[in-house]
Amino acid sequence: MTTEPTDLADLTATALTAGYAAGAFSPVEATRAVLERAEAAQAATNCFTRIDADEALSAAKESAERWRAGAPAGPVDGVPVTVKDLILTRGTPTLRGSRTVRADGPWEEDAPSVARLRESGAVFLGKTTTPEFGWKGVTDSPRHGVTGNPYAPGRTSGGSSGGSAAAVALGAGPLSLGTDGGGSVRIPASFCGIFALKATYGRVPLYPASPFGTLAHVGPMTRDAADAALMMDVISGADWRDWSQLGPAAGSFRAAVAGEVAGLRVAFSPSLGWDVAVAPEVAAAVRGAVETLAGLGAHVEETDPGIADPVEAFHTLWFSGAARVVQPLDDDRRALLDPGLREICEQGARYSALDYLAAVDTRMALGQAMGRFHRTYDLLVTPTEPITAFEGGVEVPSGSGHTRWTGWTPFTYPFNLTQQPAATVPCGVDGAGLPIGVQLVGARHADALVLRAAHALYEAGTAGIPAPPAP
């Protein structure tokens, strides 16, 4: 073996499986390296709720036997994977960041995405942190505390999949499963300098159904777009428990990423046409990514999609969903909740059925408008976030004037309302060395095209930002 064990923690899933196939190293060696990195990442950022070293090494040994026999179980056999602590994992508590959830279970089911990964031979390392029930765009919870940013642990990792983003960025597994109801894979991926995809709603089956309804998606959080495509080929497999899942994908996502971007019609919208204060360094880095796409042959036009900010409709749907989450709790258990969560639940409980249906009307009109827009443009490109990571442990940046997390993330939640695929790619760092992301949005069902454009940016070097300091 020529590769040092510590180096294995820095490899992509694609590189790991290539190494296994060539006999250069084994899943056991890779898992040991990643577990070492996971312990360091946890000490630095508090990104895990649980690390299952014994279970991971046992699974890695089984994987090594399959690779020696030339019969891997699937495309991610032996690859270390982490799972956000909102997603069911058989035999492991899913605590959802809440002191109201009992740890004693029973925990007898895998969520569909976890089941597909397990069937493919993935090695599960543990569960990653989330805010309580995934309610906000930063990661801190009454049960597990604050998750810090890999580049600056005193700053937020973003959320609500902040633990997953920090883990991937620090080498604690190249693949992670996150959820995204208003930006929750894209926000932390942007803040932590990794890749994430919110696939078209229904492309990745979800069970149990989210109380936030059809806003909530499951998506891959990875080192690069190629690994996300690899993961999508696994987790998009069918599961009867999700009545809203889509039919089979048209083809392999891995095969799709290799395509050209020349000739794509790209709309670049620096602010979605709204009054958004985008930090100058963010604006410059995103514009640089767009110029890269143009240099690769895409036809770029600076234009806005002509939509109004749907934040009030989003709040109606989101806050109502939160109220539904806590509806079974008595007063004593409600007192254990994150105070901000209690506030939005109280607001959500005051909405009427007519308020909710009016929000659905807004959502349908927004979806129709974006459908019309994508008749002209293949991709919409925006900043992922108008800012970089701010101080940890707060919902909004100090002095921002915002009252809720949606105030500082205007580019993400609209595309949960429309159910479109949207990805974030690192495209630079600010003066403090904090990552910046560019968001690529496609028409519904155009997941492969979004991955292709993202992969092109990786191949062109746009995503080549400095790694975070070693934990």
CA-nearest of 187, 154, 133, 125 to 45 is: 154
Q: How far is CA 35 from CA 42, 60, 62, 97, in A?
A: 10, 12, 17, 22
C-alpha to C-alpha distance for 78 and 72, rounded to whole angstroms: 9
CA-nearest of 428, 413, 423, 426 to 381 is: 423
Q: Which residues contact 223 (CB under 8 A, 6 or more apart)?
A: 12, 13, 168, 174, 194, 195
- Annotation marks residue 160 as catalytic: yes
- Annotation marks residue 120 as catalytic: no
Burial 208-225 (b: 16+ CB within 10 A, else e): eebbbbbbbbbbbbbbbb
Pairing of strands 152-156, 148-149: antiparallel
Residues belonging to the chain: 471
Burial 1-33 (b: 16+ CB within 10 A, else e): eebeeeebbbbbbbbbbebbeeeebbbbbbbbb
- Tell me, rounded to whole angstroms, the distance of Cα 149 from its chain centroid: 15
C-alpha to C-alpha distance for 20 and 123, rounded to whole angstroms: 14
Q: Using only C-alpha atoms, what is the Rg of the chain?
A: 21
- Annotation marks residue 26 as catalytic: no
CA-nearest of 189, 191, 183, 186 to 216 is: 183
Q: Is 36 exposed, middle or buried (0-12, 13-18, 19+ CB in 10 A)?
A: middle
DSSP state of 309: -
CA-nearest of 301, 286, 293 to 262 is: 293
List the structure tokens of 134: 């995934």
Helix (H, G, I), strand (E, B) or coil at 390: coil
Catalytic residue among 184, 236, 269, 320: 184
Spell out the long-range contacts of 63-70 with Cβ–Cβ below 8 A and sequence spacing 24 or more. Answer: 63/20, 63/27, 63/121, 63/123, 64/26, 64/27, 64/28, 66/121, 67/20, 67/21, 67/26, 67/27
Catalytic residue among 157, 160, 161, 320: 160
Catalytic residue among 84, 127, 136, 198: 84
**Which residues are annotated as catalytic?**
84, 160, 184
